């Protein structure tokens, strides 16, 4: 785009919400042309974009719906920049916080070139992430029902053995058998768990399809003990393009596995992890970390975990390992290198006894 076309372009800030979207349009000179709200639907947004008399650069904050809104704007021939809301102090720190003022601030900062774009996911990746989100919700619901079942039986002195979630209902009805007198309370729970398990397995067929379509990368990442098909595809869907991160520490921060840091007047305080980003992928990385600890292979990560465990406890230590696994997956994917149990940078300390 030429400098003249750039200067003639309009600029629109958009504050997107589930029902209504506030907009604020400026011309190239910074004069307000229009402001208001429109329904947050694909039809309304498309009609709004097509009605604009000039090419417009839209600015919106990253949110649950920002990806599909950005795709609608782009499909209608306009430019769009999605920005990180945590980096816009003019909005987050403003004493006046309304949808209209947020849209106006986005338009003003965007026109001045003061906004930094973030990555916008593709439609294909969005579809797969919805599958992962649905699976995560079903697994959590099943886990709650399993805990309820165990609690009901434990209150009467019946302790159930440990078991994988996929096999729980079958074992409850088969090998373990529902204790006499408990069928009316336990059987409905077993039936619900069985149905949820079927739905989880159905969604995991989509995971297998995505893994097959990305076989080289999935195979590479699965070289890490503890990382399976589900962890690998979930990580790939979240990162999407490893080149968009400059370092492994950026990936860890994106995963929400880095600690809060407050440093002022020469004093530094660290809190728990930020938990920003996708909760489901973060949970899978923690599961991968535990699986790594249980594998039969001696690795630098396992030795590092045992050192941290003595100082921080197992919960914080396993979270640190989950972060390292995420960083390692990104490095392997970006460089195309395989897993090494003891990379050159790791010191081979004696194995814990």
Q: What is the pLDDT along the chain (353 residues), one digit of tens a residue?
A: 555 556 689 999 999 999 999 999 999 999 999 999 999 999 999 999 999 999 999 999 998 889 999 999 999 999 999 998 877 776 666 677 799 999 999 999 999 999 989 888 899 999 999 999 999 999 999 999 999 999 998 888 888 898 889 999 999 888 887 878 888 888 999 999 999 999 999 999 999 999 999 999 999 999 999 999 999 999 999 999 999 999 999 999 999 998 877 666 666 677 788 888 888 899 999 999 999 999 999 999 999 999 999 999 999 999 999 999 999 999 999 999 999 999 886 655 555 54
Give 226-229 contacts, CB < 8 A, sequence gap 24+: 226/288, 226/289, 226/290, 226/291, 226/292, 226/293, 226/294, 226/295, 226/325, 227/288, 227/291, 227/292, 227/325, 227/329, 228/288, 228/291
3-state SS assignment for residue 62: coil
This prediction has a pTM of 0.83
Residues in contact with 327: Cβ distance below 8 Å, sequence separation at least 6, in sequence order: 248, 249, 251, 252
């Amino acid at each position: 785009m030429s400098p003249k076309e750039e200067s003639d372009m309009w600029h629109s800030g958009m504050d997107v919400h589930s029902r209504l979207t506030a907009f604020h349009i400026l011309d190239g000179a910074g004069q307000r042309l229009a402001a208001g709200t429109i329904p947050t639907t694909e039809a309304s947004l498309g009609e709004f974009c097509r009605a604009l008399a000039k090419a417009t650069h839209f600015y919106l904050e990253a949110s649950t719906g920002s990806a599909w809104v950005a795709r609608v704007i782009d499909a209608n021939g306009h430019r769009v920049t999605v920005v990180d809301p945590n980096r816009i102090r003019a909005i987050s720190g403003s004493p006046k916080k309304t949808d209209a003022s947020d849209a106006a601030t986005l338009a003003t900062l965007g026109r001045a070139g003061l906004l930094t774009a973030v990555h916008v996911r593709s439609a294909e990746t969005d579809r797969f992430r919805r599958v992962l989100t649905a699976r995560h919700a079903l697994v959590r619901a099943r886990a709650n029902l399993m805990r309820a079942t165990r609690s009901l039986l434990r209150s009467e002195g019946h302790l159930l053995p440990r078991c994988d979630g996929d096999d729980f209902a079958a074992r409850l009805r088969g090998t373990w058998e529902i204790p006499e007198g408990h069928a009316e309370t336990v059987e409905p729970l077993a039936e619900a768990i069985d149905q949820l398990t079927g739905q989880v397995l159905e969604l995991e067929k989509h995971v297998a399809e995505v893994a097959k379509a990305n076989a080289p990368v999935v195979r590479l990442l699965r070289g890490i003990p503890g990382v399976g098909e589900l962890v690998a595809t979930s990580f790939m869907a979240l990162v999407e393009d490893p080149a968009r991160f400059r370092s492994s520490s950026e990936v860890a921060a994106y995963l929400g596995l880095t600690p809060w840091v407050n440093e002022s007047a020469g004093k530094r305080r660290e809190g728990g992890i930020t938990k920003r980003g996708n909760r489901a992928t973060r949970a899978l990385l923690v599961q991968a970390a535990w699986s790594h600890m249980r594998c039969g292979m001696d690795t630098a990560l396992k030795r590092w975990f045992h050192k941290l465990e003595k100082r921080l406890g197992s919960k914080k230590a396993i979270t640190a390992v989950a972060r390292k696994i995420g960083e390692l997956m990104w490095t392997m994917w970006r460089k195309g290198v395989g897993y090494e149990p003891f990379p050159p940078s790791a010191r081979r300390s004696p194995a814990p006894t």
